[in-house]
Structure 1
Amino acid sequence: MASARPPSSATSASRWPTAGPGWCESTLAITARHLQHGGIVHAGVQATMADHTAGAAASTILEAGQHVVTAEFKINLLRAVRSERLRCRADVLKSGRSIIVVEADVFWRIWAFQPEGRGVSTAKAALAPHPAQARAVAYTEGICVPRARLTACSPP
């Protein structure tokens, strides 16, 4: 089983996720760079958090030497949010040989007695498992090519 990785890029202030077989949870401390002009958490931040957490959930059920890439992603933004922290919970709904379907929900906490928070977005992702060596890519003369094909190439 592969290990879950923390969400990154737009969510780099996130805490290392907690995960188990078929699920993952992550949190994100919201900073000024996560906000759009009106002080609302940017939709792209919510989408990135949902996508990365969904990928981490799918990764928990993979065989060693595999990783996932997003094949399809859809998000519903349920409400605008102003918050200091977001939490995302992703669960694998269906695991197949070629596609893993995951649902990810993003929440914000509004009261201490409501620890699950209030939903701000929900996403569905279809992720495709790939062997780890498929990641090996090199940038050559403006074209991204798998390393295995580089040996057949000769410089001009």
Structure 2
Amino acid sequence: MSDDLAARLREQGLRLTPQRQLILRAVEELGHATPDDVLAHVRSQVSSVNASTVYRTLEVLEELGLVRHTHLSDRAPTYHSTTEHEHVHVVCRRCHAVRSYDPSLVGPLVAALSEDGFTVDVGHLAIFGECAECAASSERNAIARTLSKE
């Protein structure tokens, strides 16, 4: 990816810096990562990188089309590499696990909105709910509470 990064930076009159390379590599290695996650990952290799460098670089990388962001919580955005296939994010509200699904999962919704003249940015889409493991845990806890009352 560094060749693509270098070419895209040059097109914009920007330099390829070691920090930009480290930050892009961190996003690629982490999968879905907040700026704080990226900062911690980069600092494990180079302690002198600061938070403002990470935030600015993520913005540049997104403008260059090398990373995308979505909102997987009520906190900071989460970034992922555009080298991954486009996907819909499904987030468990209890354990915060993130799973990626093929965009065909929301095909009928996208088609219906498209008929109405709306273009969906599927890669930015996040669906929140409860994963099977957390749902099963909730059910076990509810049964245990019921049995303890008897």
Q: Which has the higher contact order (CA 8 A, sep 6+)?
A: 1
Q: Max radius of gyration: which structure?
A: 2
Greater per-residue strand proportion: 1
* TM-score > 0.5 by shorter chain: no
Query: TM class by shorter-chain length?
Result: under 0.3
